[in-house]
């Protein structure tokens, strides 16, 4: 199998914890040809999309340790046709590079793209979570998305709870997430001015009900083809509401509760319909807070907590999809040959 990881720059990898590195290492371990490139390295020549890629060269025995593999890997630089890959695995960090998706549009019928181009378009920010159908309010916290400051002020004033969460629509990694208390409403307008800005350059924000238990952290669940394959609890550092690891949180082993399994069953089919085959969802209690579709992490830490190899599950799935697509192509070709062999007389 030929697979291209469309990702952040190789030198930005943290070899101790990086999920993408584990996925790449697993592909190389299985003998697949692996290339890595960045969204900014895509180019078009005579209507064909190419990528300036680094093709992994395995000149010696593959190190079992991904960290050792990272430090000693060798590359061959080449301009490669993106349609020549069996799979393109999107692992670029937010914010979404929309132009990169436009490049991929031209090869989507020839290459399995994970996650799907249209799926990434509709789900690349927190609005996707807020728009999920949940009329009974069973899974989604009450969420307001706007850049209208007066409206957001009224939402806070009319809230039945004393606290709410404010965060940018397009943020990730816990950046910009703050707790808003009604008693401090005098400062709220100033915060909105800072977060939203003015005029054409203004930004949307999310104002969301505070979910009880958030101070104890959240649960990151990795979903593969609509099913949970692993989870961990992320606990915030003292004095911080953010449980993201990059914001200073720590991780603990976690077994999904019955309500969390039900949540996964409720949203899994829609994720698959939207082509979002590998995602990370963040849950507090039994409430869905975010769906991460661009480069969900957590494999390394979940593996360590559970003595697992989740990267094996992910690559198994890609191999199954690619093999199924190849079988369909071969069947189509054989059927065409049958038709071509029919004597018109």
Token pair for 15 = 């070899």
d(C-alpha 228, C-alpha 281), whole Å: 10
pLDDT band at 129 (very low <50, low <70, confident <90, very high): confident
pLDDT at residue number 242: 55
pLDDT band at 12 (very low <50, low <70, confident <90, very high): very high
Helix or strand holding residue 100 (H, E): helix 98-105
Token pair for 136 = 């009974």
pLDDT, averaged across the chain: 91
pTM over 0.85: yes
pLDDT band at 21 (very low <50, low <70, confident <90, very high): very high
Helix or strand holding residue 320 (H, E): helix 310-341
The burial class, CB within 10 Å (0-12 / 13-18 / 19+), for 136 is exposed
The burial class, CB within 10 Å (0-12 / 13-18 / 19+), for 335 is exposed
Q: Which of 204, 153, 157, 137 is nearest to 176 (CA)?
A: 204
Model pLDDT for residues 205-234, shown as the tens digit of each residue: 999 999 888 888 899 999 999 999 999 999
The burial class, CB within 10 Å (0-12 / 13-18 / 19+), for 87 is buried
Strand runs labelled E in the chain = 2-7, 33-37, 42-45, 48-57, 74-81, 87-91, 112-114, 143-146, 163-168, 178-181, 205-209, 218-224, 227-235, 250-253, 278-284, 287-292
Q: CA distances (Å), 150 to each of 179, 193, 204, 230, in order?
A: 19, 11, 13, 41
d(C-alpha 281, C-alpha 272), whole Å: 14
Phi, psi of 22 (to 5 degrees): -65, -40
- Nearby residues of 114 by Cβ (< 8 Å), 6 or more positions away: 87, 88, 89, 90, 277, 278, 318
Is the model's pLDDT at 63 over the cut of 90?
Answer: yes
d(C-alpha 98, C-alpha 249), whole Å: 31
Model pLDDT for residues 245-283, shown as the tens digit of each residue: 665 678 999 999 999 999 999 999 999 999 999 999 999
Is the model's pLDDT at 312 over the cut of 90?
Answer: yes
Helix, strand or coil, per DSSP, at residue 308 = coil
pLDDT at residue number 243: 55
Report percent pLDDT > 70 for the chain: 94
pLDDT at residue number 245: 62
Any idea which residue has 């549009």 for tokens? 105
Task: Please state which of the ranges 10-24, 91-105, 165-179, 317-331 shows the lowest mean pLDDT.
Answer: 165-179
pLDDT at residue number 3: 98
Bond preceding residue 115 cis, omega within 30 of 0 = yes
Task: Give the mean pLDDT of 40-45.
Answer: 95
């Amino acid at each position: 199998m030929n697979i291209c990881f469309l990702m952040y720059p190789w030198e930005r990898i943290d070899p101790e914890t990086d999920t993408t590195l584990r996925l790449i290492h697993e592909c190389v371990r299985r003998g697949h040809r692996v290339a890595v490139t960045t969204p900014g390295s895509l180019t078009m020549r005579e209507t064909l999309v190419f990528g300036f890629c680094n093709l992994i060269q395995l000149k010696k025995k593959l190190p079992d340790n991904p960290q050792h593999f990272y430090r000693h890997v060798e590359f061959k630089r080449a301009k490669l046709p993106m349609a020549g890959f069996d799979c393109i695995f999107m692992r670029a960090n937010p914010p979404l590079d929309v132009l990169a998706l436009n490049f991929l549009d031209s090869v989507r019928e020839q290459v399995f793209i994970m996650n799907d181009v249209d799926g990434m378009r509709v789900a690349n920010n927190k609005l996707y979570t807020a728009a999920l159908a949940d009329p009974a309010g069973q899974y989604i916290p009450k969420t307001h998305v706007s850049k209208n400051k007066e409206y957001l002020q009224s939402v806070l004033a009319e809230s039945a709870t004393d606290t709410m969460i404010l965060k940018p629509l397009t943020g990730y990694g816990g950046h910009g997430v703050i707790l808003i208390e009604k008693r401090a409403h005098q400062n709220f307008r100033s915060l909105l001015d800072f977060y939203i800005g003015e005029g054409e350059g203004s930004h949307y924000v999310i104002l969301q009900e505070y979910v009880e238990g958030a101070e104890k952290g959240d649960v990151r669940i990795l979903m593969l083809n609509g099913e949970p394959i692993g989870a961990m609890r992320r606990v915030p550092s003292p004095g911080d509401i953010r449980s993201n690891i990059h914001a200073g949180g720590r991780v603990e082993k976690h077994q999904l509760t019955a309500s969390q399994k039900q949540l996964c069953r409720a949203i899994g089919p829609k994720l698959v319909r939207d082509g979002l085959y590998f995602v990370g969802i963040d849950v507090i209690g039994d409430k869905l807070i975010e769906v991460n579709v661009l480069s969900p992490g957590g494999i390394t830490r979940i593996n360590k907590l559970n003595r697992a190899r989740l990267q094996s599950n992910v690559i198994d799935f890609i191999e199954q999809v690619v093999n199924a697509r190849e079988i369909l192509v071969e069947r189509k070709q054989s059927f065409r040959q049958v038709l071509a062999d029919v004597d018109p007389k």
